[in-house]
Amino acid sequence: MNTRAKRLVLPLGGAVIVTSVVGASLSSTAEAAPDRKSRSLSSSFADAKAIAGTWTPSKLKAAKSYLEDSTQHSKKLSTTGARKASPDGKAGLIAPTSRSSRSVGKSKNLNLPTTVGKVFFEVDGKPYWCSGSSIQSKYRNLVATAGHCVYDTDKNKPVSNFVFIPAYHQGKAPFGVYVGAKVHTHYDFDVYEDYDKDYAFVNVYNGIKQVRQKQVSKNEYDKWKGSKETKREEITREEYRKCVLNLGSCFAEGKDTPDDVVGPDYPGAVLKKEEVNEETYKKAKVGKGNGNKYGEPFVESVTKSEYDAYKGPGTKKIDKSGNYTITHFYVQRWYKPGTAKKFYRETFWINIIEDAGRLGDNVGGQGFAWNQKLYKKVFAFGYPTAAHADGDKVYSGETMKWCYNKTYPAPRVSKYKVEEQVAIKCAFTPGSSGGPLVLQYKSSKRVGYVNGVVSLTLDTDGNRRYDRISSPYFDGDTNSVYRYAANLWTGKLGS
């Protein structure tokens, strides 16, 4: 992380005017906030469709939670040096939009919100994810998450290929995939990496939903400009040979290596029987070891033709009754098993997709709250996944989790320039970053008011287990950034 001096913020001559009326209109165009930084995530509908197409099920599964080091567990944390977050103007609320008939499920008698999901993105070509939530906006196209889940402070630029999947559950995208168009952050986070402003609002395009997959030729696959993926299946060596002869798409991995003789105590040694002649067998010892006897001799009855054709070490005999027999003798041979090549066939699939509509129309949008008093109870939602510092892994990251507690002044964390965040008691681990803190959440309608986003997961008592999550305090500056983003139209992807 780059180290920069935190800028001095001077009071302005005029106060920012905000509303305290629930359900205030978003129809008027908000002025560009002087402390706002807006950047493009994708430049066209074509780019957005291509980005959505890269997030195949296998890639979603391969993604890792972002910045798992965003935590403090080496020592106790305190509020010494921290400033208590306080309003910079009147408190305000923007009413949510509910889609109460749709649900992502229940958890301990609580209806989980369909608005909450995962944001996926790439940094240096590697896939990562955080948590996020749909939030109310004029065009039903806005996502709230943590600033560090959208903006790479090491390279001072936005992440790549950003998408939001609401109600994500064990790899499924029930309401489609929503590609990021523009991201809006506070100037102090973008420029000075100040986590007191670690929040972001992302405008997204209409969703993309996969209708079906169709297998096609390699040529058709290469020409297809939309969502697509390759699959591979393991095949036999003979199937591989036929595939090569027919100019199919197939490949081999690894190499053939023979078994290697080892002693019986070699780790992983495998016992095989080796046929020898009668004299060698009689001289062999009894017990465990290379060259020692392997069971009793085995007498095989054969035909005259088989008898005449046999050239092995076994003892051939014709008894008085004219029976043809071959007696086989075995000794032990211990091996380290060799390896064999694996062979695969590739198949090519295109994803037939359709416009899933606007985000807010499909899952609703949480309301927005700013300049609220501390010590109010809030719900926190997200997808924690990392283990606690003591190694205990409680969460999978594949299902949504929640906490419920009251806010209070967060401890100071100098590494992230945190001096006036808010916190709640919660055992979430990394992966929950970007998930919303929701005030006045109604389980029946699955909505409330977003009044923060998870920024850090903290171990405040030094026992190597996370016990707090913290969030930037949503004030008038946050409202200015939010209102600008909430009035931007992104259009739809089209056919």
pLDDT given at position 209: 84
Strands 250-253 and 342-357, how do they pair? antiparallel
CATH code: domain 36-206+358-485 is 2.40.10.10
pLDDT given at position 29: 39
pLDDT digits (tens, 9 = 90+) for 413-439: 888 999 999 999 999 999 999 999 999
pLDDT given at position 485: 97
166 CB-contact burial (10 Å; exposed 0-12 / middle 13-18 / buried 19+): buried
Q: Where are the domains of the chain?
A: 36-206+358-485, 213-256+340-347, 260-336
How far apart CA 85 and CA 410 sit, in angstroms, is: 9
How far apart CA 157 and CA 87 sit, in angstroms, is: 30
pLDDT given at position 30: 42
pLDDT digits (tens, 9 = 90+) for 144-196: 999 999 999 888 999 999 999 999 988 888 999 999 999 999 999 999 999 99
pLDDT given at position 5: 35
Closest among 71, 84, 188 to 410, alpha carbons compared: 84
SS3 of 196, please? helix
**What's the predicted TM-score (pTM) here?**
0.71
Show the beta-strand stretches assigned E in 337-443. 342-357, 367-370, 377-382, 401-406, 408-409, 422-425, 436-442
Residues 162 and 490 sit within 8 Å (Cβ to Cβ): no
156, 400, 451, 486 from 424: Cα distances, Å: 30, 18, 12, 27
What parts of the chain have a pLDDT lower than 70?
Answer: 1-34, 68-75, 79-82, 100-109, 492-495
Partner residues linked to 89 by β-bridges: none
pLDDT given at position 12: 27
pLDDT digits (tens, 9 = 90+) for 31-65: 444 689 999 998 777 778 788 878 888 889 899 99
73, 370, 410 from 460: Cα distances, Å: 7, 26, 10
